[in-house]
Structure 1
């Protein structure tokens, strides 16, 4: 198998990233929840004032994984990196792509001087939970998510 290459996402990756977002939504049993358009997605990541950034895992010239993040502010801790989505396609799982991506995001948070990295994982997603447990993380089951759709 060819080497896994981790790089920053580019505007030209957006269509593929949305395909992977849809794959993640199917896995999380919520495919109908993905309503963002390609145009909005691209503008939000590569417009005049980007609000998200990402790294991709590429193999044989095809993006097979990604980690998308944005900056979150904590009144207690200051600026934090919030990992919104993290996915590696099934065919790349177990080959180290996830570790390479996750480690690159951790490095990004440290390089930017953020106080922490935060993300969510569904309580039933045991493969992801087991992946995260390889790191010195705290998985907090105390907080509930509040969502107000418009």
Structure 2
């Protein structure tokens, strides 16, 4: 996909598919998001790992970037999630717009591009997580009439926990 001009009343925002050379800027935005979410210490992925995961021999994610004047102001990164109940679904890992550009339409353009991608690829749905205290994000998703599910707890193991487990 080439750069697509997506304009709104305030900015000339261009969307395009992320490239390897964007990864450093994307990680800057990931760090910004982690700080906003009060968990900056949780970002442990290296630039090399991030690039390899997106552009190596077995890429596992794809992203769309939003640019203003050739500067990346936000991105939406997804991967394919398989549900034994629902089939293939687009899983939105991160939707990030840098603070100075929030509320100017970039998030909507990125989210709409994800919806288009889900339609084009024939996915059976789209899912993501949002922190229960992140009112601006919840309000954004409510505009799309997204279902917010209660009752599920997130579970995870770190690389260290996995490696320390005695099989």
TM interval, shorter chain, is over 0.9
For 2:64, the equivalent position in structure 1 comes to 55
Query: Normalising by the residue count of structure 1, what TM-score does the alignment of the two structures yield?
Result: 0.98
After the TM superposition, list the runs of 4 or more consecutive aligned residues in structure 1 that deviate by more than 2 angstroms.
none
Query: How many residues align structurally?
Result: 150
1: CA distance between counterparts of 2:30 and 2:103?
A: 20
Pick one of 19, 40, 44 that aligns with 1:35. Answer: 44
Higher relative contact order (CA 8 A, sep 6+): 1
Does 2:151 correspond to 1:142? yes
2: CA distance between counterparts of 1:149 and 1:77?
A: 27
For 1:16, the equivalent position in structure 2 comes to 25
Does 2:17 correspond to 1:3? no
2: CA distance between counterparts of 1:76 and 1:42?
A: 31
2: CA distance between counterparts of 1:30 and 1:113?
A: 34
1:107 aligned counterpart, secondary structure = helix
Does 2:97 correspond to 1:88? yes
1:4 aligned counterpart, secondary structure = strand
For 1:76, the equivalent position in structure 2 comes to 85
Q: CA RMSD in A?
A: 0.8
2:12 aligned counterpart, secondary structure = coil
2: CA distance between counterparts of 1:60 and 1:48?
A: 31
Query: Normalising by the residue count of structure 2, what TM-score does the alignment of the two structures yield?
Result: 0.88
Q: Please, which runs of 5 or more residues in structure 1 have no aligned partner?
A: none
For 1:98, the equivalent position in structure 2 comes to 107
